[in-house]
């Protein structure tokens, strides 16, 4: 039997040999055959001249459009290709998008204002210039729509990819001003307890957020991954509400009203589908996203070409704080091993984990389980069913289930090496 290390060494040797073959080999591009070495040089030259860089034309990973509700007219959705992710940062161009209007408003930052008013002593209007002069911070946080993993057929199909089952989450470095700093300028009145944040698009998305959370870690962000926010992410200004349902992260932010009660907008009442329970009641004011993880490679739709060494890798995150531990099982949950966690681990951020694995060619079921710093453990489907007081088959029958579906995700590797969704 080969040891783990020699297996890995063999891989390194094999891939070195492959590189040797590939250099200078000819390749067919768009019907023409050309020297791959030469095309690489040409591209390097072209991108030297490009004022704003592009990725290699060999890289084709893209977001896909799969909507949550049956009527795609009411919202616009793009899912992040997590199967191709490396590290913890989602490139801005691949960040998932969930908007209730189809087109992001085209906002000129020179004329954009943020108004802070309501139960404050000194209402304030800030320009983008004003905001950029204030003390800023940069923090790495995930955003996750609470409908992530909660919709059919993506959740059920054996052919589902991790992009379809988990692509409504992404992780960026956000730069901006803590909202607590802005509120300290306006003098919040003692009886205030909530804010309402409003976006500038036609449909005026708004969301009530408790003041306690706002004073803790909410950011008014203008930067994403080292540059201004992308239009679909809220350019020029958005809220980042770390660890809480995506819906709180109000994009195209133009107004914050300090108030003494939640305003129960369309998006925070029974109309918000993923808050609805099986018995027709709604669960309100559950904001924090629970501990969750998923193996991104190998994952649904991928193929293991040969038996032997693979590194299992994936992402873990929790709205409750930092990820403390990720365990991986390669035998359907019978036994678990601690995965290596890539540091530094950030609060309420995607966290990369890895586990070396020898595939022996037999059927295997791979899954990961996240534990956060508060010792909250990612549940199985059966455990979630118990919490929601429903039968497990509820999650199979109902097209749109309650949000916050953070169940352990199993991937089955068949003897042929095909990787399939094995959640049911």
Provide the binding-site residues for ligand MTE, judged by CB under 6 A. 95-100, 143, 145, 199, 201, 205, 233, 246-247, 249-252
**Which residue number, 178 or 262, has a Cβ lying nearer to Mo ion?**
262
Minimum Å gap between C-beta 80 and ligand MTE is 8
List the one residue out of 104, 59, 135 whose CA is nearest residue 237. Answer: 104
Query: Out of ligand MTE, Mo ion, none, which partner does residue 117 contact, by CB within 5 to 8 A per kind?
Result: none
Paired residues of 244 in beta bridges: 288
Read off the tokens for 365. 């079921």
Minimum Å gap between C-beta 338 and Mo ion is 32
Minimum Å gap between C-beta 137 and ligand MTE is 19
**Which residue number, 141 or 324, has a Cβ lying nearer to ligand MTE?**
141
Give, for 157, the enclosing helix (H) or strand (E). Answer: none
**Which residue number, 232 or 329, has a Cβ lying nearer to ligand MTE?**
232
Query: Out of ligand MTE, Mo ion, none, which partner does residue 298 contact, by CB within 5 to 8 A per kind?
Result: none
Residues lying near Mo ion in the complex (CB under 5 A)? 98, 145, 246-247
Minimum Å gap between C-beta 65 and ligand MTE is 13
Cis peptide before 298 (omega within 30 of 0): yes
Query: Out of Mo ion, ligand MTE, none, which partner does residue 199 contact, by CB within 5 to 8 A per kind?
Result: ligand MTE
Minimum Å gap between C-beta 71 and Mo ion is 16
Paired residues of 311 in beta bridges: 356
**Which residue number, 207 or 412, has a Cβ lying nearer to Mo ion?**
207
Residue 116 CB partners (closer than 8 Å, separation 6+): 123, 124, 125, 126, 182, 183, 186, 255, 256, 258
Report the C-alpha gap between 235 and 253 in whole angstroms. Answer: 9
**Which residue number, 205 or 350, has a Cβ lying nearer to ligand MTE?**
205
Query: Out of Mo ion, ligand MTE, none, which partner does residue 276 contact, by CB within 5 to 8 A per kind?
Result: none
Report the C-alpha gap between 18 and 6 in whole angstroms. Answer: 18
Is-contact 282 137, C-beta < 8 A? no
CA dist list (Å): 73 to 28, 67, 106, 402: 41, 9, 20, 21
Minimum Å gap between C-beta 36 and ligand MTE is 36
Query: Out of Mo ion, ligand MTE, none, which partner does residue 252 contact, by CB within 5 to 8 A per kind?
Result: ligand MTE
**Which residue number, 247 or 385, has a Cβ lying nearer to Mo ion?**
247
**Which residue number, 69 or 124, has a Cβ lying nearer to Mo ion?**
69
Minimum Å gap between C-beta 302 and ligand MTE is 25
> For 400, which DSSP code?
B
Report the C-alpha gap between 90 and 314 in whole angstroms. Answer: 13
Give, for 9, the enclosing helix (H) or strand (E). Answer: helix 4-22
Coil, strand or helix at 189: coil
Query: Out of ligand MTE, Mo ion, none, which partner does residue 99 contact, by CB within 5 to 8 A per kind?
Result: ligand MTE
Cα-trace Rg, the chain: 23
């Amino acid at each position: 039997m080969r040891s783990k290390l020699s297996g890995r060494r063999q891989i390194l040797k094999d891939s070195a040999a492959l590189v040797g073959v590939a250099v200078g080999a000819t390749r067919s591009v768009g019907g023409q055959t050309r020297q791959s070495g030469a095309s690489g040089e040409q591209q390097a030259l072209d991108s030297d001249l490009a004022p704003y860089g592009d990725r290699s034309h060999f890289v084709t990973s893209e977001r896909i459009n799969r909507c949550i509700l049956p009527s795609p007219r009411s919202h616009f959705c793009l899912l992040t290709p997590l199967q191709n992710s490396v590290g913890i940062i989602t490139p801005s161009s691949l960040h998932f998008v969930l908007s209730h209007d189809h087109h992001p408003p085209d906002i000129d930052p020179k004329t954009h204002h943020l108004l802070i008013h309501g139960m404050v002593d000194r209402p304030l209007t800030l320009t983008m210039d004003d905001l950029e002069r204030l003390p800023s911070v940069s923090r790495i946080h995930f955003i996750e729509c609470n409908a992530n993993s909660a919709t059919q057929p993506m959740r059920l199909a054996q052919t589902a990819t991790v992009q379809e089952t988990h692509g409504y989450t992404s992780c960026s470095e956000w730069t901006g001003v803590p909202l607590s700093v802005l509120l300290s300028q306006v003098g919040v009145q003692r009886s205030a307890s909530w804010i309402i944040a409003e976006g500038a698009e036609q449909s005026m998305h708004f969301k009530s957020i408790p003041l306690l959370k706002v004073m803790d870690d909410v950011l008014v962000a203008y930067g994403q991954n080292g540059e201004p926010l992308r239009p679909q992410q809220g350019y020029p200004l958005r809220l980042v509400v770390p660890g809480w349902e995506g819906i709180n992260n109000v994009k195209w932010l133009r107004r914050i009203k300090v108030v003494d009660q939640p305003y129960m907008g369309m998006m925070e009442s029974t109309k918000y589908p993923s808050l609805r329970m099986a018995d027709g009641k709604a669960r309100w004011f559950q904001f924090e996203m629970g501990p969750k993880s998923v193996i991104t490679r190998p994952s649904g739709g991928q193929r293991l070409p040969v038996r032997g060494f693979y590194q299992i890798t994936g992402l873990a995150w929790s709205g409750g704080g930092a990820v403390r531990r990720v365990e991986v099982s390669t035998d359907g949950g019978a036994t678990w091993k601690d995965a290596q966690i890539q540091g530094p681990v950030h609060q309420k951020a995607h966290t990369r984990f890895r586990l070396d694995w020898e595939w022996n060619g037999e059927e295997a079921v791979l899954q990961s389980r996240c534990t956060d710093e508060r010792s909250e453990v990612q549940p199985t489907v059966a455990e979630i069913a118990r919490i929601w007081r429903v039968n497990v088959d509820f999650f199979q029958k109902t097209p749109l289930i309650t949000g916050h579906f953070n169940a352990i995700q199993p991937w089955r590797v068949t003897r042929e090496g095909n990787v399939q969704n094995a959640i049911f």
